[in-house]
Structure 1
Amino acid sequence: MKVIEHLERANNPLISYEIIPPKRGGSAEQMLGVVEELMPYEPPFIDVTSHSAEVSYKQMPDGAWQRCVKRKRPGTLGLCAAIEARFGIDTVPHLLCRGFTREETEDALIELNYLGIDNVLAIRGDDKGYDKQIPNERSQNEYAVDLVRQVRAMNHGEYLEDLMEAAPTDFCIGVGGYPEKHFEAPNLAWDIMHLKKKVDAGAHYVVTQMFFDNEKYFDFVDRCREVGIDVPIIPGIKIITNKRHLRSLPRYFHTEIPEDLAAEVEAADPEHVDDVGVEWALRQTEELMSAGVPCAHFYIMSSAKTVKRIVEPLREMA
């Protein structure tokens, strides 16, 4: 089932989750175990992140440094297929512009279509320090809006080649939004206008980057509606579980952590930081649900431990 169908049929705000594939050489069973922990809470859909190749360096026996390019976390499509087959839960594989050609994207979409996966999230992807060389006969989507257009074209039976009697796909397309603006955008208004381009190109819903101040989400939604973005906007929630998050989350996700939350985390004993994070995220999500958001999307990545402490009381609230 499509994400927008889940949203349309729901009587109360839904709760969805986002996980990450295991590292290269790891077992899928660990992540499938996380999904199994979530099963009592009836997740409508689960996002699975995607990762392009990145550059790393290792020192050789002679002291020289060797440049290595590889995907550290492959397996997005396979993990999605395994989740749907084992648990019957709809999945949302992430598709990236960076690190993949349009031809590779088309092949991935064909695979997903054959597997019966109905949803994709189209994003540009992070800069991993690797600029993939694109052969002359191939091409690459530069921005998420270009990727949205490619998926929408396939939904109309239009492939990169002019194929006879090409079967159309039927993907529900999600895109990312940034309540605190994308770090490369000069201002929020500019960023929202680019989000509108993605919606106008065919995106069916928006899921936001994590944020910790609900007022920023509410303001973001109001401003989106003012410019004509009328698709569902799903808030993304992250639970702080350790003190390192005070520095890593702003650095990698460009989100601001409110002063009172940061002070609580800093003052807490290390073993009780997750208690602070759970309490904050619970209050945050309760307010969002009371305001009528269509869904709360939790970035849990590789553990269901803390999110279960939030979902239990939220289900009672619903």
Structure 2
Amino acid sequence: MFNTITQLQDFNPDHVSVTYGAGGTTRSKTHDLVCEIQKKTNLSVVSHLTCVGHSRQEIRELLQDYSQSGIENILALRGDPPHGGANFIPAQDGFAYAEELVAFIRQEFPHMGIGVAGFPEGHPACPNRLKEIEYLKRKVDAGADYICTQLFFDNRDFYDFRERCELAGITVPILAGLMPITSLANMRKISELALGSRIPAKLLKSIHRSEEYVENIGIHWAAEQVNDLLEEGVKGIHFYTLNKAEQIQRICSSIGIVDSDQLNT
């Protein structure tokens, strides 16, 4: 983990984010790692925080600890049901929706920066795209400062999502989430992590024609995405690294990115 951070630190990233395990299974590990990064680096740390298994008091205590440790940025998520459950059941005296968590953080810790998730390809739990954007607007109205999207491979999905947000009156910055495909196994894992992310046929054809060059193909595709997004005025790009630095370094180097400021418009 820290080797990856060290390798990417030269790009002067705006922040490094630390995720939660599925179902909130890594709560203590997330907390400890966030605090360790805060102590050992000069980077701004964004801690993911979900509603899963947390009472209001537990969240209050966790945020108090973060605040005292100098950690002031949270990505507020509802989270997935634990143990592969189909339905989300909030903890006793907990939160049922991310918008409730956002409102709580904004009220109790008004100095904290709050990000929320967006889904350019739609959320599988909400097939109604109009409702989905309505729910996102509620999170923003509750106090979110920015939106970080789930990963996508077709920029047209992002542009459509961005326009839908504009039509709904959402004005906070939207960061585009990208993750390069580096192997066939990685491609399958990405689809699972991204709740069945849509991989364009053109990309699939390139991969299946030259399976021995999957990593090069994936890095080239991601670099082309970055170039196009920057040309279209994206507010920022968030790389999902999976704790690996080399692929991100190659993407940035191939398009002349030496500092994260070049990824913000």
Do Structure 1 and Structure 2 share a fold, with TM-score over 0.5? yes
AA partner of residue 198 (structure 1): K
Distance across 2 between alignment mates of 1:74 and 1:259: 40
| Structure 1 position 53, deviation (Å) | 5.3
Q: Gapped runs of 5+ residues in structure 1? A: 1-30, 55-70, 156-168
Tell me the SS of whatever aligns to 2:244: coil
1:268 alignment counterpart:
210
Tell me the SS of whatever aligns to 2:240: strand
2:121 is aligned with 1:180: yes
How many residues were matched structurally? 256
2:66 alignment counterpart:
112
1:225 alignment counterpart:
166
1:47 alignment counterpart:
17
1:285 alignment counterpart:
226
The answer to whether the Cα contact below 8 Å between 1:84 and 1:90 also exists between their aligned partners in 2 is yes
| Structure 1 position 114, deviation (Å) | 0.2
Q: 1:53 to 1:200 in 2, by over 3 A?
A: closer
| Structure 1 position 74, deviation (Å) | 4.1
AA partner of residue 170 (structure 1): H
The answer to whether the Cα contact below 8 Å between 2:23 and 2:80 also exists between their aligned partners in 1 is no
| Structure 1 position 279, deviation (Å) | 0.1
RMSD over aligned Cα atoms: 2.2
Which one has the largest radius of gyration?
1
The answer to whether the Cα contact below 8 Å between 2:18 and 2:46 also exists between their aligned partners in 1 is yes
Tell me the SS of whatever aligns to 1:153: helix
List, as ranges, runs of 4+ consecutive aligned residues in structure 1 with deviation greater than 6 Å. 130-135
Cα deviation per residue 1:33-68 (whole Å; 9 max; x = unaligned)?
A: 1100111111111111012557xxxxxxxxxxxxxx
The answer to whether the Cα contact below 8 Å between 2:173 and 2:235 also exists between their aligned partners in 1 is yes
Which has more strand, going by share of residues?
1
Q: Which has the higher contact order (CA 8 A, sep 6+)?
A: 1
Q: 1:278 to 1:170 in 2, by over 3 A?
A: same
Which has more helix, going by share of residues?
2
Distance across 1 between alignment mates of 2:162 and 2:15: 22
**What is the TM-score of this pair, normalised by structure 1?**
0.75
Q: Gapped runs of 5+ residues in structure 2? A: none
Distance across 2 between alignment mates of 1:80 and 1:246: 28
1:68 alignment counterpart:
none
Identity %: 33
| Structure 1 position 186, deviation (Å) | 2.2
2:125 is aligned with 1:193: no
| Structure 1 position 289, deviation (Å) | 1.0
Distance across 1 between alignment mates of 2:135 and 2:23: 26
